[in-house]
């Protein structure tokens, strides 16, 4: 028996009939009265604590994460949209995208203006194998899995960052042009 159940079971006879005068059947019923609610509380406690409302949300920069928020959300406020982008989907599903390093918060509000949730979003560095090369004060990042390729990462030098973004934009434009020509 749990501590609460044991204490309640031990105190019950004092309020009713001394235990030595109780019948076996009455003692069994009292045990069931105390034991069933105690067991229910123990079994339901993990479900209630599965998703605390104030738990921190961790997401990597340049990645998205799906998080379930309460269904009644009418609007969302993000403390610093340069750190994370938050998009509300139907049914309380929220897409959180890490945009910059650091921490910010997200506040979910219902139609009456009541705060349903206020959580911290912590945006961390990339999770893949990144090699950082320093050339004096200039920084370059490479994703090395299995071959090292350029990677656009916040904090890289302006020239390196601009060249990598330019190449990615050219590739994307070429792919869109080829798709449009095909249709």
Residue 45 has pLDDT above 60, yes or no: no
Q: How confident is the model at residue 19 (pLDDT cuts 50, 70, 90)?
A: very low
50 burial class (0-12, 13-18, 19+ CB within 10 angstroms)? exposed
Query: Tokens 């938050």 — which residue?
Result: 86
Residue 156 has pLDDT above 60, yes or no: yes
CA distances from 39 to 5, 12, 31, 45, 53 (A): 9, 18, 12, 10, 25
The string of pLDDT tens digits covering residues 160-183 is: 888 888 888 888 888 888 888 887
The candidate with the shortest Cα–Cα distance to 54, out of 140, 120, 151, 5, is 120
Residue 98 φ/ψ, nearest 5 degrees: -75, 120
Q: Are 130 and 61 in contact (CB under 8 A)?
A: no
Alpha carbon distance 117, 35 (integer Å): 35
Q: How much is the pTM?
A: 0.57
98 burial class (0-12, 13-18, 19+ CB within 10 angstroms)? buried
The string of pLDDT tens digits covering residues 54-69 is: 689 999 988 999 999 9
pLDDT at 29: 58
The candidate with the shortest Cα–Cα distance to 58, out of 87, 83, 91, is 83
Residue 53 has pLDDT above 50, yes or no: yes
């Amino acid at each position: 028996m749990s501590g609460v159940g044991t204490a309640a079971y031990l105190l019950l006879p004092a309020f009713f009939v001394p235990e030595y005068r109780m019948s076996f059947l009455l003692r069994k019923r009292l045990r069931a009265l105390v034991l069933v609610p105690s067991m229910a509380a123990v079994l339901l406690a993990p479900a209630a604590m599965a998703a605390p409302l104030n738990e921190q949300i961790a997401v990597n920069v340049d990645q998205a994460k799906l998080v379930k928020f309460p269904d009644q959300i009418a609007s969302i406020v993000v403390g610093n949209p340069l750190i994370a982008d938050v998009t509300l989907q139907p049914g309380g599903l929220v897409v959180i995208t890490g945009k910059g390093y650091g921490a910010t918060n997200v506040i979910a509000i219902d139609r009456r203006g009541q705060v349903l949730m206020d959580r911290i979003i912590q945006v961390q560095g990339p999770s893949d194998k990144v090699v950082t090369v320093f050339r004096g004060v200039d920084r370059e990042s490479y994703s090395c899995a299995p071959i090292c390729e350029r990677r656009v990462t916040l904090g890289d030098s302006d020239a390196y960052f601009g060249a990598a973004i330019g190449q990615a934009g050219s590739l994307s434009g070429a792919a869109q042009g080829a798709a449009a020509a095909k249709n």
